[in-house]
Chain A
Amino acid sequence: MIHSSSTADLADDLALASAPQRRSFWRALLGSPSGLIGLAIVAVLIFAALTAPIIAPFDPLRMAAGPRLQPPSLAHPMGTDDFGRDVFSRIIFGARLTLQIGVIAVGISLTCGLLLGLVAGYSSGWTERVLMRLVDVLFSFTEIVIALACLAIFGVGLTNAMIAIGIASIPFYARVTHSVVLVEKGKPYFEAAVAAGAGHIRLIFMHLLPNVVPTLIVIGTLGVSTAILAAAGLSFLGLGAQPPQPEWGFMLSSSRDLISRAPWMMIFPGLAIAITVLGFNLLGDGIREALDPRQTER
């Protein structure tokens, strides 16, 4: 058995990226325009979220921080809303909620989708067929309808919306994981590990998982942007964030009746969402290019 474990370890070593590869990953990421811009945008977002109480000029919930519906000025760079709250401060605090949405929703869908995809891909036969058929059906329901069904069950609210979005994207992550597992299962290192007598758990978690991770990092980063868009959409519909939360989608929804009188209430939260989503999209593309240089041609 000593023999077999050493063969399995060899397979492990081949599967994991070595240190120089990791260094060239960062160089590739920072060297590509999309990676660099994406990383910069995401860094600004994280900075805003962490230092919100320090950098925001006003309390985001404080009414009458200035006169109501004031256009952008030096005191209020993004104007004030119909309650006299400072839009700029609300957007900075909104970064916190946005990051939270991204992390929680993607965390749920990534974990469950990964497990489902791994199990389905590893155990061929009936288990795989039934699981993937179910995943396909759920996928065809579209995410928004699954999210609506979840909200009908849990009730509305921002936390529930995050969970609903997380659940709604599970089929997508399961599909991606499944297809990567199928490819990896055919590779020599995996066959070597099987031949060496590695057990199920070892095969799944030590051999397949590390090779699925790079793809999932890309998909997960892109998924943060989808989650942010979806949460903003649900909040816009009144199903997510509730007053007076400074959530960007909800801010857009409350700007609706005032579009002609106070367009800044509609423009800035929308810009904040678009730039954030763009940041995660570019970062995801940058990571993909850095992990797989052949794609860069495209």
Chain B
Amino acid sequence: MGKFILQRLLAALVTICIATIAVTILIHLVPGDPVRIMYGSFQTTPEELEAIRVRLGLDQPIWTQYLMYLERLLHGDLGRSIVGDQPVLDVLLARFPATLALTVSSLFIAVVVGMSLGFLAAYKRGTWVDVGSMVLAIVGVSMPHFWLGLLLLFLFALQLQWLPVAGGDWRSLILPAMTLGLANAAVLARLTRSAMIDIFDQDFIRTARAKGLPRSIVLYRHALRSGLVPVVSMLGLQFAYLMGGAIVIENVFAWNGVGRLAIEAVLSRDYPLIQGFILFFATVVAMASVVIDVAYAFLDPRIRYS
């Protein structure tokens, strides 16, 4: 187990390292002068621009810049944002709890709704329940998430007035979490259905039925437990999708998370903030996938030893 965790941690570290290289190169790929692009709208003289260039280390060769970046990174310094002139790490950390709350609650909704729908469809295979839930799933996959968000907003916040349009407390979390959760439930429903169909056809289920076990035990203890293995293995990827999806949904509901910050950064071409965001996002996703993989390996010993 220790070796497995170590392997996963190393893989995550490689991902993070590649992210640091990518964000260092990023600013050099910008056509034209990035300093002028960033500070062009402020009143700045050529001397001031040159001073900024030196301060950001952009006058150095690229590998020196990379080492400087790494060194600062090890001291927890991701640079200063241009628009707010604040340390990038502080800005990201201040906004992260909101994104985490949104991502985790929508993952919960996606798992509960998606798995039940997929399980039901597989169990009632070929009936209208199956057809109905799969139609629902394909409609869910095809719907733009932000449109679903607008529709829910229109219905629950504006027409019925059950929920606030925006705010920041837990009640204003319900709509964005529902949007993101339901939109991703569709993917999980299709996945669960095909995994469960595979299981229902297997010998051990037939044996369990043949020896006269109650249906609920066959379903929940035998079928569900083994059918969920491939689905659970997808949760790491789902978490990454939800983090990505949160970028758009946060903007629909004015939810003050890192996603909203990222869009503001791209629109205002705040490169230190963009670099920080990419690195931060890659780190969170990499660590989350380590946690999910390890939890998964605890559940299924076959993974640990393969």
Contacts and interface: CB of A to CB of B under 8 A. Distances in A.
A232 to B, nearest CB: 5
Interface stretch (B96-104, B142-150, B174-182, B213-221): B142-150
Contacts of A277: 141-144
A154 B32 CA distance: 10
B269 A152 contact: yes
B281 A270 contact: no
A252 B153 CA distance: 13
Given A233-B145, A233-B146, A237-B251, A259 B14 contact: no
Interface string A122-155: 0000000000011001001111110011011111
A141 B138 contact: no
A132 to B, nearest CB: 13
Interface string B220-252: 000000000000000000001101110110011
Interface residues of B, number: 48
Interface in A247-298: 249, 252, 255-256, 259-260, 263, 266-267, 270, 273-275, 277-278, 281-282, 298
Nearest to A266: B150
Contact of A137 (B14, B26, B138, B144): B14
Given A149-B26, A259-B154, A281-B138, A274 B15 contact: no
A145 B244 contact: yes
Contacts of B153: 259
A256 B252 CA distance: 8
Contact of B244 (A144, A237, A255): A144
B271 interface: yes
A219 to B, nearest CB: 15
Interface residues of A, number: 43
B243 A142 contact: yes
A97 interface: no
Contacts of A252: 144, 146-147, 150
Interface in B115-164: 138-139, 141-147, 150-151, 153-154, 158
B150 A298 contact: no
A175 to B, nearest CB: 12
Contacts of B67: none
A274 B142 contact: yes
Contact of B19 (A141, A143, A148, A232): A141
B267 interface: yes
Q: Which of B244, B281, B282 has the most CB of A within 10 A?
A: B244
B91 interface: no
B267 A142 contact: no
A260 B158 contact: yes
B16 to A, nearest CB: 9
Given A278-B139, A278-B142, A282-B138, A133 B14 contact: yes
24 contacts: A137-B19, A142-B281, A144-B245, A145-B278, A145-B282, A152-B30, A152-B265, A156-B267, A233-B145, A233-B146, A236-B248, A236-B251, A237-B247, A237-B251, A249-B144, A252-B144, A252-B150, A255-B150, A259-B150, A270-B143, A274-B142, A274-B144, A278-B138, A298-B197
Given A152-B271, A156-B266, A275-B142, 20 more contacts: A137-B19, A141-B19, A142-B281, A142-B285, A145-B247, A149-B22, A149-B274, A149-B278, A152-B266, A153-B26, A236-B248, A237-B247, A237-B251, A239-B266, A252-B146, A256-B150, A270-B147, A274-B142, A274-B144, A278-B142
